[in-house]
Amino acid sequence: MEKIFTSVLLILLFLSPSLAADLTVCVACHNNDQPANPILDGQHAKYIEKQLQDLKKDLRIHAQMQGIAKTLDDKQIVEISKAFAEKAWSNPTPKIDPSIQEEGKNLVRKGNCTRCHGSELEGTYNIPRLAGQRAEYLKTTLLQYKNKERNNFPPMSSMLNRYSEKEIGVMADYISRLAYQE
C-alpha cells in the first residue's frame, strides 16, 4: 500500500509543470534566427523576473508576451528567469564598425549609460545587460521608451528625450557590437 502511494506521488511530481523550468516555448521565439527578439540567455535573473511580472500585470505592453506571461505563476517566473540567467551569453562575432565607433561611444557617454548599466554595459541583478544585445531589438525598445510605449521604467524614457531617432539607431548598433566576457 505504502509502495503504491509512493509511486503515485512520484508520478504526480513528475507531471507537475512547475517542477522544472520548461524553456521550449520561449526558445521558439528567443533564438538567433529571430534578430528582432531579445536575447534571454545570460540576461540577469531579477531583470527577467521583473519584465515577466510587468508583462503579466499589463505594465509593459506587448500582446504576445503579455499572454505568455499570464500563463506563468510566480514560482515558474522565478525558475524560468534563473534558468535563462544561468546560460552563457553568446557574444556577437562582427565586432567594431569603425564608421559608427566614435559616435556610438559619445552617445553612450552623453547619457551616462554606464552609471547604471556598468562600465562595460554588462548590467547586474535587476539592471539589464546591454552589451551584445541584438541591434534591432535595442533600437525598437529604446524608441518605445522614448515614445513612452514602454513605460514600466519612466527614468529611461526621460533620458531618451535627448536623443533623435537616428542617434538611437547608431547607439543601438554600437552597443550590439560590444562584447563582454563574464
Q: Which residues bind ligand HEC (CB under 6 A)?
A: 25-26, 28-30, 37-38, 40, 48, 50-52, 62, 64-65, 68, 80, 111-113, 115-117, 126-128, 130, 133, 138, 140-142, 152-153, 155-156, 159, 171
Which of 179, 7, 180, 3 lies closest to 93 in space, CA to CA? 179
Q: How far is the CB of 96 from ligand HEC (least distance, A)?
A: 18
CB-CB contact of 162 with 111 (8 Å):
yes
* CB of 117 or CB of 177, closer to ligand HEC: 117
Q: How far is the CB of 123 from ligand HEC (least distance, A)?
A: 8
* CB of 13 or CB of 28, closer to ligand HEC: 28
Which of 55, 48, 35, 52 lies closest to 84 in space, CA to CA? 48
* CB of 130 or CB of 178, closer to ligand HEC: 130
Q: How far is the CB of 10 from ligand HEC (least distance, A)?
A: 26
CB-CB contact of 74 with 20 (8 Å):
no
The torsion of the CA quartet 157, 46, 117, 161, rounded to 10 degrees, works out to 0
Q: How far is the CB of 92 from ligand HEC (least distance, A)?
A: 15
Compute the C-alpha angle 138/115/82, nearest 5°. 60
CB-CB contact of 47 with 118 (8 Å):
no
* Residue nearest ligand HEC by beta-carbon distance: 111
Q: How far is the CB of 14 from ligand HEC (least distance, A)?
A: 20
